[in-house]
Amino acid sequence: MKFHHSVAIIFLLSDLLSQSFISDELPIGLTEEEKNNFHLIFEMGRNTDPAMAPVRNIAEYEKMSGVLIRYPFGISLDIIRELSEDVIVYCLVSASQQNSAFNSMSAANVNTNNVQFVVGPTDSYWTRDYGPWWVVDGNGNMSVVDFTYDRPRPNDNDAPFKISEFLDVPYYSVDIIHTGGNYMTDGYGISASSDLVYEENNWSNDALDSLMGLYYGVNTYHVLPDPNNTYIDHIDCWGKFLSPTKVLIREVPASHPQYNEIESVATYFSETLNNWGFPWEVFRVWTPNDQPYTNSLIVNNKVLVPIMNNAWDDEALEVYQTALPGYEVIGFTGTWESTDALHCRVKGIPDLEMLQLFHMPLPDTVSANDSQGYDLELVVDDLSGTGIIDDSVKVFWKNENTQSYNVNYLYLSDLPEEMNTYRGFIPVQAFGIIINYFLRAADSSGRVESNPIAGYHSFYAVPTDACNNWEIGDMDNSGQLDIYDILILADLIVYNNNLGVCCESVADINTDGVLSIIDIVTLVSLVASQ
Q: Are residues 430 and 508 in the same domain?
A: no
pLDDT attached to residue 499: 67
Q: Are residues 341 and 359 in the same domain?
A: no
| Mean pLDDT to the nearest integer, 438-459 | 97
Range with lowest mean pLDDT among 14-28, 29-43, 189-203, 275-289: 14-28
Please tell me which residue, 461 or 185, carries the higher pLDDT value: 185
- What CATH number is attached to the domain comprising 435? 2.60.40.10
Q: What is the percent of the chain with per-residue pLDDT over 90, rounded to a whole number?
A: 80
Residue 270 dihedral angles phi and psi, to the nearest 5°:
-65, -20
| Mean pLDDT to the nearest integer, 299-327 | 98
Q: Are residues 160 and 301 in the same domain?
A: yes
Q: Are residues 402 and 487 in the same domain?
A: no
Q: Would you say residue 212 lies in a domain?
A: yes
| Mean pLDDT to the nearest integer, 102-126 | 97
Q: Are residues 313 and 365 in the same domain?
A: no
For residue 344, indicate whether it is catalytic.
Answer: yes
Give the total number of structural domains in the chain.
3
- Tell me the pLDDT band of 14, cut-offs 50, 70 and 90: very low
Task: List the one residue out of 49, 327, 54 whose CA is nearest residue 188.
Answer: 54
Helix axes 77-84, 98-107, angle to 10 degrees: 80
Q: Is 148:208 a contact under the CB 8 Å cutoff? A: no
DSSP 295-330: --EEETTEEEEE--SSTTHHHHHHHHHHHSTTSEEE
Specify the DSSP element, H or E, that contains 159.
helix 159-167
Q: Would you say residue 98 lies in a domain?
A: yes
pLDDT attached to residue 467: 74
pLDDT attached to residue 298: 98
The three-state secondary structure class of 232 is coil
- Say whether pLDDT at 6 is over 60: no
pLDDT attached to residue 369: 76
Range with lowest mean pLDDT among 55-69, 77-91, 412-426: 412-426
Q: Are residues 301 and 424 in the same domain?
A: no
- Say whether pLDDT at 5 is over 90: no
Please tell me which residue, 18 or 211, carries the higher pLDDT value: 211
Q: Are residues 365 and 345 in the same domain?
A: no
Of the residues 462, 495, 511, which one is the last residue of a structural domain? 462
For residue range 133-154, list pLDDT tens digits in order.
999 999 999 999 999 999 999 9
Q: Would you say residue 398 lies in a domain?
A: yes
CA atoms of 241 and 60, how far apart (whole Å): 8
- Say if residue 72 is preceded by a cis peptide, omega within 30 of 0: yes
Range with lowest mean pLDDT among 16-25, 69-78, 163-172, 213-222: 16-25
CA atoms of 380 and 359, how far apart (whole Å): 9
Q: Are residues 248 and 379 in the same domain?
A: no
DSSP 162-221: HHHHHHT--EEEEEEEE-GGG-EE-SSSEEEEETHHHHT-SS-HHHHHHHHHHHH--SEE
Instruction: Count CB atoms within 10 A of the CB of residue 282.
Output: 19
pLDDT attached to residue 26: 84
Q: Would you say residue 467 lies in a domain?
A: no
Of the residues 300, 330, 350, which one is the last residue of a structural domain? 350
DSSP 406-456: EEEE-EE---GGGTTEEEEEEEPPSS-EEEEEEEEEEBTTS-EEEESSSS-
Residue 423 dihedral angles phi and psi, to the nearest 5°:
-125, 150
- Say whether pLDDT at 409 is over 50: yes
- Say whether pLDDT at 230 is over 50: yes
Q: Is 217:54 a contact under the CB 8 Å cutoff? A: yes
CA atoms of 235 and 195, how far apart (whole Å): 10
Q: Are residues 243 and 322 in the same domain?
A: yes
| Mean pLDDT to the nearest integer, 370-388 | 91
- What CATH number is attached to the domain comprising 268? 3.75.10.10
What's the sign of the alpha-carbon dihedral 247, 251, 256, 259? positive
Q: Average pLDDT of the chain?
A: 92
Q: Would you say residue 346 lies in a domain?
A: yes
Q: Are residues 423 and 443 in the same domain?
A: yes
Q: Would you say residue 470 lies in a domain?
A: no
Q: Are residues 299 and 390 in the same domain?
A: no
Q: Would you say residue 128 lies in a domain?
A: yes
Of the residues 427, 462, 497, which one is the last residue of a structural domain? 462
For Cα atoms 505, 507, 512, give the angle at the middle one, nearest 5 degrees: 95
Give the number of residues written for the chain.
530
- Tell me the pLDDT band of 500, cut-offs 50, 70 and 90: low
CA atoms of 344 and 183, how far apart (whole Å): 11
Q: Is 490 exposed, middle or buried (0-12, 13-18, 19+ CB in 10 A)?
A: middle
pLDDT attached to residue 371: 61
- Tell me the pLDDT band of 19, cut-offs 50, 70 and 90: very low
- Say whether pLDDT at 30 is over 90: no
- Tell me the pLDDT band of 370, cut-offs 50, 70 and 90: low
Q: Would you say residue 184 lies in a domain?
A: yes
Task: List the one residue out of 370, 443, 437, 507 whose CA is nearest residue 140.
Answer: 443
Please tell me which residue, 197 or 497, carries the higher pLDDT value: 197
| Mean pLDDT to the nearest integer, 298-302 | 98
HEC string for 251-282: ECCCCCCCHHHHHHHHHHHHCCECCCCCECEE
Single out the catalytic residue among 91, 237, 344, 502.
Answer: 344
For residue 376, what is the DSSP state?
E
Q: Are residues 298 and 433 in the same domain?
A: no
- Say whether pLDDT at 7 is over 60: no
Range of the domain at 450: 355-462
